[in-house]
Every structure is written in structure tokens, then in C-alpha cells.
């Protein structure tokens, strides 16, 4: 759909704006904001409506909105004083005040097509507003935008969008409705803290409460990739919460779980269940997104696709895959320099390459990794993942106090982010605060038992147990980690040390033989090089002594 005003043509299908026939460069989100204002010319568009439709209900700062409005005005040659195109209504919102002419709206409707089809989004939005429904307008794709991919002739959101439907109250008592509503609202809130996800606003999904819904149709109506649904049943002193994750495109269930609890403090139970559900949903959605990109590779990959391919290789945890992850993530940053996720994950892949494989742990590379995370945070200063990954970089640089602060900030922003709890545990352990560290590792494991890095949570925790001199628990944790996919040779090494200090030297030597099969180059010099992130010399020497007892 194209709209003309003054010397400009806004093309919402191509996601472009032209002036006198020349294309003007702009961020896709600014184009989306302009489209919303232009399509509602001379009507006040409130700040809440902009938040709902441009940011999908995510809470953003006044500064973020003001920045986008300022950029839109600059593109149009406008300013806050003249306001020839975009007029500010103090404390209310904005109006597009220039005369707008829709260039091809009538032919689109005259063709008699399905107004719910992806290709007729603007016509559907116009119909909805005419009916007083005010439905959200879904943007179409643009080149280089990490948030959207093009499939055939239709544009689909590439950044995964999740709708959490109102949980059904299965209890006999209708007064328990507040509990099921509370569960729903809390899951929306927790998932929204994972900033790589777009979460539909609670008010939007609660409009479907009590209705029988075809989830595939719902996916089309809301433009979402995944749907979370569930139920709450309370009987006597017990409560049961069931949760399902559904692919909105196919209607197929991807994951489900059930939580049974004895009621002591109802609000504490609500907090516990919603934290666990949210923490477990996020890695499941991440896995689905990586599989989607891997299984549907095209020749025209965008920054978002390169990012997920890179993360796919990252989580395979081999030297070759780590190098490929670094390459793909760097390619994503080249395609879109403002894609913070790619910068931060490239830095993390770089540091893991130093700790596990063949990336040299040099000061210049560590400087590059820190600069990449700083760039990511300059793009989104409220992103918990970016803080947690920068914490990992600072840990590798032996800047433990900074690592503690970054991981604490990540947890403040997203309390259910398991990897941040693990990172905080590492930071505490290397400072010698072992009891505090172990509690963080336990929290990480409890929050995300299906996390692709679960083996790492347990292995890092086992190292803290070693330093704590709790060798039996260290053995238990390494045994659990060894059963998980992609577990690394460091797990076996920690087991060797724990067995040595437990007085089980024959078993330690046998396990050392297994370790040398996993990594033939493993020796004390190798270990000293790879433990470059340990600042306390006594920790390194303690570890090496345990290895030597087993013949390493």
C-alpha cells in the first residue's frame, strides 16, 4: 500500500519512503511508526497505541519514543518547532497533519481478496478501524531488518512473537478466576523481559477470554508465531497448573508441562510457577527458531537468519562449530550494525572459543569482545542478555567486580534468566564466595532444566564445589552433566580432580584415561593456559595438584 503526502510516497509493502522519486534510508521501526501515523492522518494516535502497535505492547522509555519521532521528523525535513507533518499533542500523543492520499487502497479492496490474508494487511487494518476494532497493523519486511524475513510474496515476522492466552480456570469456584488471571499476567510480564521475544500485550489477548479459538486463526489475526495456553485447577489445599506451547502456524504442540503444588502461600506459589514456566518457555522458543532457520535455509539470508544460524552452531559446542558461529554472527553484524544480539553473542562465542577450543586468549581479542558487548548495550541498555554476556567477557578479563555487577543487573532486569544466575555463580566462585556461588548454580538449574547450557551450569557449579572442598557433590554434579548432550571435556577433568581428592585414586586414573581420549592434548600446561580467567593462584594450583595425583 502506498500513501502520498507533500513530496513523499510511503510504501508500506516495500517498507520504504521516497522523496521526489529518491529512496530515503531509515530504520524499519521508524517506517512502521510513520505508517501508523499516516494511516491515521488527522486522528490523535496516543502514546499507548504507539506502544501497542509499534513495540507490540513492550514497555519502552519516553526517550525511545521521542528518539523515533525525532528521526521521523528529520526524514521529512520537519522539526519539533514547525511540526508541518507530525504534531505533538502534549501528554497525549501525536497527529499526522499533512494531507494524505492513498494511492492504491481502492484497487486492493476492489479485487475482492480475503481481507484476513497476509497480503492485505493494510486493507484489513482499514476495515478494522472502520468497525471500531482498532486492530494492530502488522509491518511487512524490509531488507536488512533483523526483525522480519520474506517468504515467497508474503512478509512474516522473523523475531518470534508470542501470545499468552488467558489461562482457563477449571476450579468449581469462579472466585478463583483472579488466580488464573494472575498466572497469565505474570507469564506475560516475565516473557517480556526476554527482549529478543515480542510478546503480545495482555489487554490484547484478554479480549479472547472465554472464547473457543482456532489457534492458527488466532496466529494470523494477531500476527504471532507461538501461542502459550494453559489451565489452573484448585482442589482443597492443592493447585495444578498445566501449560502448553503451540506453533501458531501449524497448530502443533511443541512443549507442555504440569505443576502440582501444595498451597501454603498462594502468591508465593504463583510467583514460583510463573518464574519456572517463563524460564522454560524461552529456551524452547529459541530452539524452535534455530531449527526453523536451519531447515529453511535460503540464498537470501538476512541478519536475523545469520544470527540464529550462528547461535545454532554455538550450541553444538565443537571447535569447528564455534568457529562457524563466530563467522556467522560477525556476518550478521556486517549486515546490520545496529543488531545488538549479534554483537553480544559474537563476543560470547569468541570467549568460549578461548576457554574450550583454539581461539587464542589474547588481550586484543578480549578488548574486541568487550567493545562488542558495549556496543550491544549502547543499542539497548535494558537488555538482560547483553549484561549477562558482558559479565562473561569481564569474567574472562579477570574483572570480577564488573562481572558481578553486570550479572546482578541482568537478574534485576530478568529474574528468570537462568544463564545470568549461572554467570553470577561463576563470578562469586572465583572471588572465593563459594556458598553464595552454589546457591546461584542451584537456582540456574532449577529455573531452566531444559536449557541447552544445562551441562555448563552443572559443570561450572562442580568447579565451585571443588574449590569449596565438597568433592562428593562435585562428583554428583559432573555425573549429571556427563549425561547431557554436548557435554565438554572440562566436565571429565573436574571429575578427575574430585576423585583424586576423595582418595579414589584408581578411579581417578581410570577417568584420566577417558579424559585423554576426549582431549589428547590435555596436560597441566594446557590447563594453566586455559584457566587464564582464574585470578586466584591458589585455585589454579589446587586444581593442577588434583590432576597430577591422577597422573595428568
Rounded CA separation 406/411 (Å)? 9
Distance of alpha carbon 414 from its chain centroid, rounded? Answer: 11
Which of the residue ranges 60-64, 108-112, 339-343 would you say has the lowest mean pLDDT? 108-112
Rounded CA separation 40/275 (Å)? 39
Does one domain contain both 172 and 135?
no
Does one domain contain both 136 and 167?
no
> Side-chain half-sphere of 125: how many Cα atoms within 13 Å?
21
Which CATH number fits the domain that encloses residue 486?
1.25.40.10
Q: Which long-range contacts (CB under 8 A, 24 or more apart) does 147-153 make?
A: 147/28, 147/304, 148/28, 148/302, 148/304, 149/302, 149/304, 149/305, 150/300, 153/119
Cell digits for 226? 507461538
Bridge partners for 157 per DSSP = 148
Cell digits for 307? 544470527
Residue pLDDT, tens place only, 259-302: 888 877 777 888 888 888 888 787 778 777 777 766 655 455 68
Does one domain contain both 108 and 179?
no
Query: Phi and psi for 227 in degrees, rounded to 5?
Result: -125, 135
Does one domain contain both 131 and 212?
no
* Segment (H or E) for 155: strand 154-157
Could you tell me what percentage of the chain is helix, strand and coil, using 3-state DSSP and rounding each to the nearest 5?
55, 15, 30
**Strands (E) located in 376-489:** none
Rounded CA separation 58/17 (Å)? 26
Does one domain contain both 19 and 62?
yes
Average pLDDT, the chain: 82
- 216 part of a folded domain: yes
pLDDT tier for residue 252 given thresholds of 50, 70 and 90? confident
Query: Phi and psi for 231 in degrees, rounded to 5?
Result: -145, 155
Confidence at residue 137, expressed as pLDDT on a 0 to 100 scale? 27
- 70 part of a folded domain: yes
Query: Phi and psi for 123 in degrees, rounded to 5?
Result: -60, -40
Does one domain contain both 360 and 277?
no
Rounded CA separation 381/226 (Å)? 26
For 269, the 3-state DSSP assignment is: helix
Return all residues near 341 (Cβ < 8 A) that are at least 6 apart. 146, 196, 307, 376, 385
Which of the residue ranges 20-24, 244-248, 464-468 would you say has the lowest mean pLDDT? 20-24
Most confident range, picked from 28-32, 314-318, 370-374: 370-374
Does one domain contain both 95 and 177?
no
- Count structural domains, the chain: 3
Confidence at residue 112, expressed as pLDDT on a 0 to 100 scale? 32
pLDDT tier for residue 533 given thresholds of 50, 70 and 90? very high
Contact status, residue 87 vs residue 97, Cβ threshold 8 Å: yes
Does one domain contain both 57 and 171?
no
Which CATH number fits the domain that encloses residue 210?
3.40.50.10610
pLDDT tier for residue 158 given thresholds of 50, 70 and 90? low
Does one domain contain both 181 and 124?
no
Does one domain contain both 394 and 532?
yes
Rounded CA separation 374/419 (Å)? 19
- 266 part of a folded domain: yes
- 463 part of a folded domain: yes
- 351 part of a folded domain: no
Does one domain contain both 128 and 211?
no
> Side-chain half-sphere of 47: how many Cα atoms within 13 Å?
16
Does the pLDDT of residue 117 top 60, yes or no? no
Q: Please give the average per-residue pLDDT across 6-13, as a whole number.
A: 84
Return all residues near 250 (Cβ < 8 A) that are at least 6 apart. 216
Three-class secondary structure assignment of 197-266: CEECCHHHHHHHCCCCCCHHHHHHHHCCCEEEEEEEEEECCEEEEEEEEEECCCCCEEEEEEEEEECCCH
- 59 part of a folded domain: yes
- 304 part of a folded domain: no
Q: Which residue has the higher pLDDT, 418 or 234?
A: 418
Place of cell 497527529: 95
Domain boundary residue among 295, 317, 346? Answer: 295
Contact status, residue 502 vs residue 475, Cβ threshold 8 Å: yes
Domain boundary residue among 140, 175, 198? Answer: 140
- 342 part of a folded domain: no
Rounded CA separation 48/65 (Å)? 11
Does one domain contain both 417 and 542?
yes
Percent of the chain at pLDDT > 70 equals 86
Confidence at residue 13, expressed as pLDDT on a 0 to 100 scale? 67
Q: Give the number of other Cβ atoms within 10 Å of residue 23's Cβ.
A: 12
Which of the residue ranges 192-201, 297-306, 485-494, 522-531 would you say has the lowest mean pLDDT? 297-306
Parent domain of 200: 161-295
Which CATH number fits the domain that encloses residue 71?
1.10.10.10
Rounded CA separation 519/358 (Å)? 12
pTM: 0.63
Q: Give the number of other Cβ atoms within 10 Å of residue 266's Cβ.
A: 15
Q: Please give the average per-residue pLDDT across 380-404, as a whole number.
A: 95
Q: Which residue has the higher pLDDT, 100 or 373?
A: 373
Amino acid at each position: 500500500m502506498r500513501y502520498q503526502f507533500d513530496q513523499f510516497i510511503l510504501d508500506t509493502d516495500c517498507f520504504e519512503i521516497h522523496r521526489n522519486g529518491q529512496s530515503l534510508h531509515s530504520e524499519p521501526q521508524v517506517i512502521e511508526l510513520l505508517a501508523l501515523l499516516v494511516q491515521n492522518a488527522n486522528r490523535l494516535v496516543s502514546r499507548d497505541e504507539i506502544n501497542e502497535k509499534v513495540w507490540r505492547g513492550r514497555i519502552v522509555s519516553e526517550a525511545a519514543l521521542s528518539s523515533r519521532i525525532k528521526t521521523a521528523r528529520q526524514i521529512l525535513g520537519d522539526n519539533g518547532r514547525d511540526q508541518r507533518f507530525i504534531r505533538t499533542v502534549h501528554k497525549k500523543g501525536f497527529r499526522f497533519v499533512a494531507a494524505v492520499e492513498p494511492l492504491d487502497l481502492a484497487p486492493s479492496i476492489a479485487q475482492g481478496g480475503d481481507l484476513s490474508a497476509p497480503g492485505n494487511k493494510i486493507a484489513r487494518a482499514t476495515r478494522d478501524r472502520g468497525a471500531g476494532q482498532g486492530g494492530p497493523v502488522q509491518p511487512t519486511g524490509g531488507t536488512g531488518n533483523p526483525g522480519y524475513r520474506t517468504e515467497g510474496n508474503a512478509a512474516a515476522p522473523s523475531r518470534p512473537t508470542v501470545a499468552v492466552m488467558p489461562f482457563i480456570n477449571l476450579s468449581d469456584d469462579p472466585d478463583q478466576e483472579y488466580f488464573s488471571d494472575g498466572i497469565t499476567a505474570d507469564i506475560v510480564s516475565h516473557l517480556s523481559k526476554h527482549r529478543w521475544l515480542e510478546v503480545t500485550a495482555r489487554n490484547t489477548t484478554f479480549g479472547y477470554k472465554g472464547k473457543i479459538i482456532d489457534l492458527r486463526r488466532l496466529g494470523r489475526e494477531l500476527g504471532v508465531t507461538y501461542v502459550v495456553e494453559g489451565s489452573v485447577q484448585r482442589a482443597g489445599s492443592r493447585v495444578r497448573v498445566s501449560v502448553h506451547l503451540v506453533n501458531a502456524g501449524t497448530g502443533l504442540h511443541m512443549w507442555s508441562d504440569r505443576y502440582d503444588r501444595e498451597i501454603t502461600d498462594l502468591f508465593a506459589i504463583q510467583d514460583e510457577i510463573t518464574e519456572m514456566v517463563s524460564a522454560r518457555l524461552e529456551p524452547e522458543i529459541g530452539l524452535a527458531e534455530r531449527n526453523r532457520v536451519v531447515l529453511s535455509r535460503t540464498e537470501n539470508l538476512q541478519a536475523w537468519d545469520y544470527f540464529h544460524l550462528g547461535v545454532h552452531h554455538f550450541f553444538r559446542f565443537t571447535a569447528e562449530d564455534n568457529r562457524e558461529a563466530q563467522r556467522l554472527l560477525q556476518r550478521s553484524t556486517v549486515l546490520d550494525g545496529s543488531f545488538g544480539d549479534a554483537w553480544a553473542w559474537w563476543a560470547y562465542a569468541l570467549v568460549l572459543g578461548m576457554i574450550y577450543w583454539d581461539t587464542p586468549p589474547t588481550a586484543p581479542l578480549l578488548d574486541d569482545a568487550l567493545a562488542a558487548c558495549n556496543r550491544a548495550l549502547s543499542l539497548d541498555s535494558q537488555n538482560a542478555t547483553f549484561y549477562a554476556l558482558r559479565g562473561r567477557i569481564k569474567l574472562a578479563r579477570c574483572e570480577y567486580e564488573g562481572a558481578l555487577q553486570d550479572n546482578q543487573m541482568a537478574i534485576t532486569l530478568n529474574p528468570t534468566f537462568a544463564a545470568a544466575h549461572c554467570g553470577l555463580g561463576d563470578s562469586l566462585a572465583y572471588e572465593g564466595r563459594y556458598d553464595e556461588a552454589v546457591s546461584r548454580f542451584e537456582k540456574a538449574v532449577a529455573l531452566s532444566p531444559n536449557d541447552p547450557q544445562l551441562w555448563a551450569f552443572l559443570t561450572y557449579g562442580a568447579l565451585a564445589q571443588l574449590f569449596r572442598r565438597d568433592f562428593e557433590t562435585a562428583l554428583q554434579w559432573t555425573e549429571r552433566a556427563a549425561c547431557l548432550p554436548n557435554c565438554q571435556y572440562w566436565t571429565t577433568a573436574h571429575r578427575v580432580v574430585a576423585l583424586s581428592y576423595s582418595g579414589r585414586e584408581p578411579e581417578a586414573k581410570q577417568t584420566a584415561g577417558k579424559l585423554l581420549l576426549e582431549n589428547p592434548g590435555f596436560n597441566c600446561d594446557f590447563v594453566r593456559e586455559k584457566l587464564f580467567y582464574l585470578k586466584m593462584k591458589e585455585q589454579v594450583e589446587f586444581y593442577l595438584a588434583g590432576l597430577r595425583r591422577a597422573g595428568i
